[in-house]
Amino acid sequence: MQKQVLAIHDLSCVGRCSLTVALPILSACGIHTSALPTALLSTHTGEFTGYTCLDLTGEMRGIADHLATLPLCFDGVYSGFLGSFEQIELVGEVISRYRRPGALTLVDPVMADHGRLYATYTQEMAAGMGELCRLADVIVPNLTEACILLDRPYEPSPDQKTVRRLLEELASRYGCGQVIITGVKHGDQLGAGGFCAADGTFSFQGAKHLDHVFYGTGDSFASAMMGAMLCGRSTGEAIRIAVDFTHVAMEKTLENGLPLRYGAAFEQALPMLMRSLNLLGGEA
Ligand code: PXL
């Protein structure tokens, strides 16, 4: 049976992030993907000024109510960037409606990066994100978000021992089975640290650090993780696949001299993602 996912993110018209990243990546993983848009923006908020932002909280209620009348049985719900404090409760309700044994809830507590909250986020929203994390099987904060979720000052380059402590604290505070922190540096590598609460194991998967600011890479990573896990990969395997995929997307962006503000060119890494999931012929 084809897997089905509900992706709850904003739609940024230009600049690869959120839905314009999640939908193609999950589709490439063979997953039937439905969308619940949280906000409509002209661009992402990272490196543009003058962007428009329409909060879709009111519309989301109607969409969610209509979807509730359909015989939908999602294998996964995957949430990310939200448009307002008010919609956090609604997203929580939607997650709870479709949560069931065997389905995967992945919450990416998108709200900040490089030590700063995103322009459209408030402290109140940041606190509300923690409530969504409590509903998740898997959370994938970046380092900034991990520190916010733990009420700690931002640490840009924690050592591996500190990363482990952050992972464990997130798992115990929010009750998530799997915690992955992205944007972790280790020697000349950049990657993700993972913790599995069931067996208490830690892992780190990295790739050569490319010293540039890329947008939407957290979304590429989380979408590839979600896709790989729904294709039956273990969390450790999914982290490896998602790190490699995101790294190649960044490499291709640089190799082709593409403007970084429009996000990492993940399109060019989709074939390797599909090969790593045995969805294309040829070698992985
Ligand atoms: O990639 C996270 C993200 C999602 N959506 C919007 C953003 C950002 C990060 O800047 O601005 C609108």
217 lines ligand 1 (CB under 6 A): no
Query: Which pair of structure tokens corresponds to residue 266?
Result: 């993940």
Going by C-alpha positions, the residue among 197, 156, 182 that lies closest to residue 247 is: 182
Residue carrying structure tokens 């995957």: 78
Mutual orientation of helices 86-98 and 123-133 as an angle, nearest 10°? 10
Span 186-213, pLDDT tens digits: 999 999 999 999 999 999 999 999 999 9
Question: What does the chain come to in residues?
Answer: 284
Residue carrying structure tokens 């519309």: 59
Residue carrying structure tokens 């109140």: 124
pLDDT above 80 (res 281): no
Residue carrying structure tokens 């050569």: 208
Percent of the chain with pLDDT over 70: 99
43 lines ligand 1 (CB under 6 A): no
Rounded-to-integer distance, Cα 125 and Cα 87, Å: 10
Average pLDDT over residues 218-244: 97
Rounded-to-integer distance, Cα 181 and Cα 166, Å: 9
Q: Sorting pLDDT into bands at 50, 70 and 90, what band is 280?
A: confident
Whether pTM > 0.85 for this model: the answer is yes
- Vertex 149 angle, CA 206 and 175, to 5°: 85
What is the separation, in whole angstroms, between the first and last Cα of the chain?
24
108 lines ligand 1 (CB under 6 A): no
Residue carrying structure tokens 């040829």: 282
Q: Sorting pLDDT into bands at 50, 70 and 90, what band is 266?
A: very high
Helix (H) or strand (E) run with residue 31 in it: none
Span 88-134, pLDDT tens digits: 999 999 999 999 999 999 999 999 999 999 999 999 999 999 999 99
pLDDT score recorded for residue 65:
98
Domains in the chain and their CATH numbers? 4-276 (3.40.1190.20)
Ligand 1 centroid vs 216 CA: distance in angstroms? 7
pLDDT score recorded for residue 282:
56
51 lines ligand 1 (CB under 6 A): no
Average pLDDT over residues 62-87: 97
Ligand 1 centroid vs 179 CA: distance in angstroms? 21
